[in-house]
Amino acid sequence: MKKQNEPILPSVISAKEYAALSPDEREEWRAVHPKHERLPKWCFVCYGIAALALLIYLAARIFPAFADLFNQNVSEIFRRTLAALTGWIPFSLGEALLLLLPVIFGLAVWYAAKYRCDTWRSTWSFVGILVAIISMLLSMFVFTFATGYHGTTLDQKLGLDQKEVSAEELYQTALILAQKVTEEHENMTYAADGFSVMPYSLPEMNDKLLDAYDTFCKEHKFIDHYDTRLKPVMLSELMNYTHITGVYSYFTGEANIDVAFPDYTIPYTAAHELAHQRGIAREDEANMIAFLVCMESDDAYVRYCAYLNMYEYVANALYRANPELYTKASNALPADVKGEMRAYNSFFSKYQHSTAGTVSGAVNDTFLKFQGTEGTASYGMVVDLTVAYYKHLGLVSE
């Protein structure tokens, strides 16, 4: 004999089993198990957090001072905490979750079809749960990183006078960088393929960059120093086709590095992603912070990589402005350095016209423009900052 409120059906049934029930059995099952048709309370909490995140994001876009305050205080706590929680994992958690997305999506569809979407009300309840999860991911972006796009610009923080630059200013800056590269290249070892060889492991490079950040942060209070672990991307060779050499995963707090690119690109890229991890959101500014930090390093290879990567940015801009001055600047480089640059062009030709690179570039460009930047063109805007930096030092004249 059935006791009061005791269900006559299993607590979990498939959509097919539900359809086979009589109207009375369906009514009784819904009366005992209404949770499938009601939105869980935690979803409303997620919606509330998302609404708060939206208000914060809008305020940051309107008030740069608020964006700085939130990014350097509240967001810094989130970034530091996430980095600490995931830092002990020897692989990139963000990459692993990305690779598992098809599996997660498939399991969600299977679970919804078999157990959750037995009525229209339960279907909408499940959709509401998915929306709550997505809203939390977007909220995490705001709380950890997004306000950094809208704060005080780096030239203001560094006291630089950033203006449009002339071909002559580009030329002077290129010569300065060529001289720095020449000074550092004496200590480099070059392999038969033309590339310089990083004389230590990725963890050792990680420590050298953290030491350089420690020095830089003592003089610049708008960025905090803390120990973190760079994460090499497991599928770096495939990542080459996307033309992405590094990525900061805001939802796991990890700085991820493509280690299949030539050695001389890795320290500078790593310093760039570490800048993102510390709240420097704009791409040109992350490039500039990476350059300034690497110059603080007591390691010759880290400095060499920074000078050469920045020289390439400036030289590309100079070539577009004045090819003759570009040729004069490139003549100031040692043969080994020119060989490394030619080797890179040969290396990258394999990936240059990939569909993955075109798609990822378009997605990244759209995302960056939505954040109020110049899109992927903002990477190259570090040239203006570099010229302004050397003008500030009195090494470049107008």
> Which pLDDT score is estimated for 40?
81
Under 8 Å between Cβ of 362 and 268: no
The answer to whether the pTM exceeds 0.85 is yes
Q: Classify burial at 217, counting beta carbons within 10 Å of its beta carbon; exposed 0-12, middle 13-18, buried 19 or more.
A: middle
Under 8 Å between Cβ of 317 and 170: yes
**Which of 31-45, 242-256, 262-276 is predicted with the least confidence, judged by mean pLDDT?**
31-45
More confident residue, 140 or 221: 140
Under 8 Å between Cβ of 43 and 129: yes
At residue 381 the predicted structure's pLDDT band, cuts being 50, 70 and 90, is confident
Sign of the C-alpha dihedral computed for residues 33, 34, 39 and 44 taken in this order: negative
How many percent of the chain have pLDDT more than 70?
A: 89
Please, which residues have CB within 8 angstroms of residue 288's CB and are 6 or more apart in sequence? Answer: 154, 382, 385, 386, 389
Distance CA 125, CA 84 (A): 35
* Span 342-352, pLDDT tens digits: 999 999 999 98
More confident residue, 18 or 141: 141
Give mean pLDDT, residues 356-382. 75
Three-state DSSP at 158 gives: helix
Give mean pLDDT, residues 322-336. 95
Residue 226: pLDDT over 80: yes
Question: Considering only CA atoms, which of 273, 275, 332 is closest in space to residue 308?
Answer: 332
Average pLDDT value for the chain: 88
At residue 376 the predicted structure's pLDDT band, cuts being 50, 70 and 90, is low
Residue 224: pLDDT over 90: no
> Which pLDDT score is estimated for 29?
59
Give mean pLDDT, residues 54-70. 96
Longest Cα–Cα distance in the chain: 97
Residue 39: pLDDT over 70: yes
Phi/psi-derived region of residue 53, left when phi > 0, alpha when psi is between -120 and 50, beta in every other case: alpha
Give mean pLDDT, residues 160-177. 92
Distance from the Cα of residue 38 to its chain's centroid = 37
Residue 339: pLDDT over 70: yes
* Span 4-28, pLDDT tens digits: 444 444 555 566 666 677 777 666 6
Give the DSSP per-residue string, 349-388.
Answer: TTTTT-HHHHHHHHHHHHHHHHTTS-GGGGGTTHHHHHHH
